[in-house]
Chain A
Amino acid sequence: MTLTLRPKLAFKVPIEAECITPDAFAGKTVKEIGAMKVWEGNRQRSLDELFYVEGEGGAKPEEVDIRIIGDVHKVRRIGVGMSGGEIKIEGDAGVHLGEEMTGGRIVVAGSADSWTGSMMRGGVIEVKGDAGDYVGASYRGSTKGMRGGVILIHGNAGNELGCFMRKGLIKVGGDAGQFVGMHMRDGTILVQGGCEGRAGAEMTGGKIAICGSVPSVLPTFTVDSVKAKVKIDGEEVAGPFYLFVGDQTENGDGKLYVSKAANPHLKFYETYL
């Protein structure tokens, strides 16, 4: 059973809509859902002032299927803390998408903004386009980043991907920005393109694999060996890869795999093997 939300207008100011989750919609009629409160800038509005709400929900979060048709890149905090069900966004999504979610699935046909899946513990977020910064990261100041679940980004991702990540999987189809897996404790990150450097800064555990080019590897990583392939979530990604271990400033034991073929300028590391 599907609930459809369509924006009534092109939003100009940010909208805080943490109520758009299967958990909040479960067991409510369309009218009740339309009456839920959201903030548009500094004004409080009901959901049906901003969206056409149609369709039918379910009794439990797992039975609720939300479709958002239109551009909602100004709408923040969609799917916050959701535990089940599905949200499909046919357009771009705003910041803090699926923050702290514990289950269910979010699919974005367009791009997602920063803080997508930050602090998430379970479930799946799939972004067909690009994503902003701090994907799967922790809140500012906190050391608890992503603690489970899967984030799939088909396009590019921004900076500080998986900051303070503790568990789970992030896959990026395109390139990533700076500081991939910064402060990472555990979990897995696969970047199929390149990244802008400083990957794994201050990581203490976990696994990062970068299949494209990197400008350099941080001097606090030691080269360990050359591997023919790397295993990511049970699947093998063909290499060869240089395997670096670090970050030594934190006595870390994180593993950083960097493609050998895409990075001929890292060949000098082989003399240390």
Chain B
Amino acid sequence: MHLGSTLTVSFRALRRNPMRSLLTALGIIIGVGAVIAMVSIGNGAKSMVEAQIASLGENVLLVFSGSFNQGGARSGAFGAGTLTVDDAEAIRREVSTVVAVSPEVRTGAQVLANGLNWSTQILGEGPDYLAIRAWPLSEGAMFTDGDVRSVGKVCIIGQTIATQLFPDGSPVGQTLRIRSQPFKVVGVLSAKGLSVQGADQDDLVIVPYSSAMKRVTKQTMLRSISVQATSAATLDLAQNDIISLLRQRHRTTEQTDDFTVRSQVEIAQAATATSNTMTLLLGAIAGVSLIVGGIGIMNIMLVSVTERTREIGIRLAVGAHGREIQLQFLTESIVLSAFGGTLGILVGIATSELLSALNNWPTLVSTTAVVIAFFFSAAVGMVFGYYPARKASLLDPIDALRYE
């Protein structure tokens, strides 16, 4: 019996009982659908992270206090502050591959303007900060070195602050009170939207770090130092030079470093690695449901073989070879699972689109995942259909014809 008629016979057999065929394929449909949806969501998150990398500024290194490798106490990132403004100046002075430096302190505070108040984050930065972060202003100008030296009461506000506290007209030139102290708004940042973690990146106020440290918070140590290298090529060199310099200044060794220097790429890679692991895990769980779907197919095929014993007897009587019977049932099983796989792929794509629309999660349907899912479901049909098909082929025609 050649392939054409085998497929015809199998399709006819499945068409004879459409409800059962659909229910049998349901396990595969759900399994494949789940795999596709989860992988799409995972991929979407990953691509968002990658987009975030691109938006964070090139050739940027982040120096922050605390180390993940500290021998005794692990203080973690941003732990007991050990970075000083002098460290930042030293980096700018002595590392030739560094082109810009911005020391950072951070705190939360209430800000007031025009009789409205708002709880927000206050960042104390250097004037190079916006250049390092590649974050343009929509209005006004960044504060200067002079402002830093004079501990000036000037600030840059994010779009959310502008919208919330300065509904009429331009905020530039107006006054913003930070912890009851008046600061003059000299610039407004352009919009950045939500971060990957869902935080509002436009909800912040930037003041000179000296002003932040003297007037807003009582911190004497820096939270971090943002550094921009001269180019992507010199990034590694800059990273090493900064580490050596700080080790010298802090008198630490690799084992006792109280700081960490990371490139933005490394930070983003860490986030991607996590999301990759999550995606794989979710995919594996969904893969298990595919196996279960396969077992479902095997069960139904076994029932089907028993129910169609008479039919198998007739086919054998009119001249079917055992092999042909086996091929027929195996084909039915594969067609069923491949059909389920196709439906599952469509369901998975639809689900991920739906979730994407409802929750604002990004999704990215991966062609690789689709192809793998399809062939995997066909394979499931082949593996789990083998035993029932073999059983069918070994039936004796006389007994089969007599079967009640």
| Binding between chains A and B | no
- Which residues of A are in contact with B by a Cβ distance under 8 Å? none
Residues of B that sit less than 8 Å from A by CB: none
